[in-house]
Amino acid sequence: MPSVCLYFEVHQPFRVRRYTVFEKNHNYFNDEVNRRICLKVAHKCYLPTNQLMLELIHKHQGNFRIAYSITGCALEQFERYAPEVLESFRALAETGCVEFLAETYYHSLSFLYSREEFATQVDLHRKKVRDLFGQTPQVFRNTELIYNNDLAHFARQMGFRTVLCEGADHVLRGRSPDFVYRPLGCGDMKVLLKNYRLSDDIAFRFGNRNWPEWPLTTDKFASWINAINGNGTNVNLFMDYETFGEHQWPDTGIFEFMYHLPGKILEHPDNSFKTPCEVADAYELMMLRVRRRAPDALLEGVYLEQMVPKGREVILGMTRDPQFGPMLMFGLGGIFVEVMKDVSFHLAPITAEEAMQMLMGTRSYRLLEGVRSQARVNLAAIVEALQRMSQLVTDFPQIAELDINPFIVAEVGEKSVAADARILLSSGGAR
């Protein structure tokens, strides 16, 4: 984890012409302007980007998966002015790696005006998608990702099982958008929230040279995705399709960025790409497996822990002696501490030099320095951890015992992690 959910919105409005009350012609639309703009965006965005997405799907053998919502207005214009665009979307649909979503046919706010009009437009759009691409949408997205729980209930009654939503801060209230949520009192309905920060890094900030993170490279963006491992199940990147070639021009490097991004994200073995339906199904499958193993368990959600990188396991500890005060302990983890009892001790507080002497006081110190093909670990990280522990137990005399086991020490330049810890207070309460 996490699974990257890439969804693109495709919309072209019907532009109206200058119209006066004296005209008898009931054609309100400017056909020439609609044709010209549709063809322009088709050649700048839709055709080259569809070709790129098709190449990426084949290159990554189906592990790259995406989703689209194409408004009825856009589909009609493709049929009328740019049938080659429609064919390119059909080619994507035939790969089995692309999901098409449902929305209001005219990209409207009809849900706020008339539920009857809303249902009519959604049914019309769902039928259009089914006729053109052979898919019956299971996921709904409202115009501009506008959402409330009433919308989720209404969509569920229409047969949808997942709704997309803007990951607004005032809605999340400090929670992460990188999880699958359920609307209150809406059964098994799912809500996927947009990670607007990462989405907008591509959609809006990519070509901004005044942005502190410019230039945005695939290495940098993939590192932001990887940082969510253990802190979320999915990263929902929702954006307008015109990001490619129209909003971000080719000379910004947006096409090259998109070409290399999937491969860079998939370098991490825990990452994947999923469509919205697959994200929702993955959560359900996980919960189903838990229910099978523990049918009497009360399941209110899922808590994830970060996958800790590989490294050398050590143990850091402290016990408070009634006479001498806090006594620090260091040793290698695993069999070294359990069988060989290879540990060293020192009274707190300690200096950096004294912490280093604790390391060198173990018989297995040479393993930390690196032997044969094994790399040297970050000794400074252990020294710092021992000093911080020393300061902590000195400042808080109510701590009777403290264990960090294991403290996973990475190579120099990599992050070391305290994977588990236990504190026993003098009052007898374990935490």
Domain harbouring 374, CATH code: 3.30.470.20
Range name among 137-141, 144-148, 191-195, 309-313 with the lowest pLDDT average: 309-313
**Residue 211 placed within a domain:** yes
The position carrying tokens 């069999």 is: 335
Q: What is the CATH number of the domain that holds 52?
A: 3.20.110.20
Tokens of 266: 């998939």
- 287 and 343 co-located in one domain: no
Does residue 25 surpass a pLDDT of 90?
no
Tell me the β-bridge partners of 425.
Answer: 399
- 277 and 401 co-located in one domain: no
What are 370-386's pLDDT values in tens digits? 877 777 889 999 999 99
**Residue 153 placed within a domain:** yes
* Single residue among 262, 293, 324 that ends a domain in this structure: 293
Average pLDDT value for residue range 96-104: 98
Catalytic residues: 144
Measured from the Cβ of residue 412, the count of other Cβ atoms closer than 10 Å reads 13
CA dihedral 172→176→181→184, nearest 10 degrees, is: -30
What are 326-370's pLDDT values in tens digits? 999 999 886 667 777 789 999 999 999 999 999 999 888 888 888
| Per-residue confidence (pLDDT) for residue 363, from 0 to 100 | 84
- 96 and 225 co-located in one domain: yes
What are 101-122's pLDDT values in tens digits? 999 999 999 999 999 999 999 9
**Residue 298 placed within a domain:** no
Average pLDDT value for residue range 298-309: 64
Give the integer Cα–Cα distance in Å for 325 and 147: 59
Q: What percent of the chain has pLDDT over 70?
A: 94
| Per-residue confidence (pLDDT) for residue 417, from 0 to 100 | 87
| Per-residue confidence (pLDDT) for residue 365, from 0 to 100 | 87
**Residue 402 placed within a domain:** yes
- 141 and 36 co-located in one domain: yes
* Single residue among 236, 264, 293 that ends a domain in this structure: 293
- 342 and 239 co-located in one domain: no
* Cβ neighbours of residue 203 closer than 8 Å, sequence gap 6 or more: 239, 240, 243, 247, 248
Would you say 301 and 313 are in contact if contact means Cβ atoms under 8 Å apart?
A: no
Sign (positive/negative) of CA torsion 305, 309, 315, 319? negative
- 119 and 245 co-located in one domain: yes
- 283 and 135 co-located in one domain: yes
Average pLDDT value for residue range 171-198: 91
What are 111-164's pLDDT values in tens digits? 999 999 999 999 999 999 999 999 999 999 999 999 999 999 999 999 999 999
Tokens of 318: 């402290």
| Per-residue confidence (pLDDT) for residue 185, from 0 to 100 | 86
Q: Which amino acid is at 189?
A: M
- Assign 34 to helix, strand or coil: helix
Structure confidence at residue 209 as a pLDDT band (50, 70, 90): very high
**Residue 385: which domain range?**
312-425
Structure confidence at residue 410 as a pLDDT band (50, 70, 90): confident
Structure confidence at residue 431 as a pLDDT band (50, 70, 90): very low
Backbone angles phi, psi at 397, to 5 degrees: -65, -15
Segment (H or E) for 286: helix 276-293
* Total domains in the fold of the chain: 2
| Per-residue confidence (pLDDT) for residue 309, from 0 to 100 | 66
- 40 and 173 co-located in one domain: yes
**Residue 306 placed within a domain:** no
Q: Which of 147, 63, 143, 64 is nearest to 101 (CA)?
A: 143
**Residue 430 placed within a domain:** no
Mean pLDDT of the chain: 91
Does residue 429 surpass a pLDDT of 80?
no
* Single residue among 260, 293, 326 that ends a domain in this structure: 293
Average pLDDT value for residue range 71-92: 98
Give the integer Cα–Cα distance in Å for 424 and 431: 6
- 150 and 284 co-located in one domain: yes
- 94 and 208 co-located in one domain: yes
- Assign 325 to helix, strand or coil: strand
**Residue 188 placed within a domain:** yes
Structure confidence at residue 416 as a pLDDT band (50, 70, 90): confident
**Residue 20 placed within a domain:** yes
Give the integer Cα–Cα distance in Å for 359 and 422: 22
Does residue 208 surpass a pLDDT of 70?
yes
Range name among 51-55, 192-196, 393-397, 417-421 with the lowest pLDDT average: 417-421
| Per-residue confidence (pLDDT) for residue 302, from 0 to 100 | 61
Average pLDDT value for residue range 261-266: 96
- 361 and 395 co-located in one domain: yes
Identify which has the larger pLDDT, 269 or 142: 142
Structure confidence at residue 307 as a pLDDT band (50, 70, 90): low
- 328 and 273 co-located in one domain: no
| Per-residue confidence (pLDDT) for residue 20, from 0 to 100 | 79
